[in-house]
Amino acid sequence: MTSRKERLTVTVDPALIAAGNEAVAEGRAESLSAWVNAALAERAAKERALAALAEAVAAYEEQFGEISAHELAEQARADRESAVVVRGTARSKKRRARSRKK
């Protein structure tokens, strides 16, 4: 981002202002303006990434045809089957096992 900033007047939900002020108070942001600026930068990056993804899907579908609901469901199923589920630590697993025995 450029070092030259522009003043902007916006209307923001009170809860978001409180969250920004909390970030400043806890030292996670230099100022409320810096916190808002970072949030806007993150949103802009997310939208650029989504646009790039949409372009990639469109290019794929142009070459190979439209991705069907069936293909999406099959891929979701394959992803679930190959996923590694990690929950808690070995210690918490032992505690849960002991509490089930009681």
- Asked if 32 and 21 count as a contact pair (C-beta separation under 8 A), the reply is yes
Q: Is the pTM of this model over 0.85?
A: no
Predicted confidence at residue 94, as pLDDT, reads 64
Calpha distance 100→19 (Å, rounded): 40
pLDDT digits (tens, 9 = 90+) for 18-59: 999 999 999 999 999 999 999 999 999 999 999 999 999 999
Q: How far is CA 3 from the centre of its chain?
A: 27
Residue type, 63: Q
Predicted confidence at residue 93, as pLDDT, reads 62
Calpha distance 50→61 (Å, rounded): 16
What average pLDDT score do residues 78-88 get? 89
The token pair that represents 6 in the structure block = 């522009």
